[in-house]
Amino acid sequence: MPQVPRPPLRLLALSTTIALAAAIGTYALLSDDDPATVGTVTLTPADGSADDSDGVSFTTFEGDTVALSSLRGTPVLVNFFASTCVPCITEMPDLEAVHQEVGDQVTFLGLALQDRPDDARALIARTGVTYRTAQDKDGSVIAALGGTVLPTTVLLDADGSVLATRSGQLDAADLRSLLADELGLPL
């Protein structure tokens, strides 16, 4: 029987070290005292203050530029998504359900992040979303509001200040809790 050459010991040690570091990093990232918050990260700007929406604008699917500040007067829940993001697709029906529950108390806005307009529109139709949707063509809106990954959901107060930023997939219960905790809505 022919002998199979063994990999060098240095290669085995390096591979094992990398795998161990990845496992420890994953455990540290997902480890939390409250299992309901696994996968949800609250982001805060480095200076500890909350960004606001001054000077930030998004683009409609028709190509019009709309200032985020034009939505002031009611709290705004901005959800960033892409047609290639499975967690985004999964959470969209839950966003729609909560949108239907809160009615005019909170403005919902879905922004397709650097997505092809036709793909984003097809996803919106497929998931049954009826709240306002548009595009964050260059990623400037998500960056201004403190998001870094998809999906990201940002809650703004009626004056446009960021109340909370959540990164990761949310379900209807997470959304209800966020709106109840931050806005005092009875959900």
Phi and psi at residue 8, in whole multiples of 5°? -60, 150
Which helix (H) or strand (E) segment is 78 a member of? strand 76-81
Residue 158 lies in a domain: yes
Report the number of distinct structural domains present in the chain: 1
Q: Is 37 exposed, middle or buried (0-12, 13-18, 19+ CB in 10 A)?
A: middle
Residue 2 lies in a domain: no
pLDDT at residue 46, rounded to an integer: 37
Residue 173 lies in a domain: yes
Whether 166 shows a pLDDT value over 50: the answer reads: yes
Residue 124 lies in a domain: yes
Domain residue limits at 136:
36-183
Residue 5 lies in a domain: no
**pTM of this prediction?**
0.73
pLDDT at residue 54, rounded to an integer: 73
Which comes out higher in pLDDT, residue 183 or 54?
183
Q: Which of 77, 74, 123, 127 is nearest to 99 (CA)?
A: 77
Residue 6 lies in a domain: no
Average predicted confidence (pLDDT) for the chain: 84
CATH number at residue 82: 3.40.30.10
- Give the pLDDT mean for 172-177: 97
Residue 25 lies in a domain: no
Residue 4 lies in a domain: no
pLDDT at residue 13, rounded to an integer: 62
pLDDT at residue 27, rounded to an integer: 55
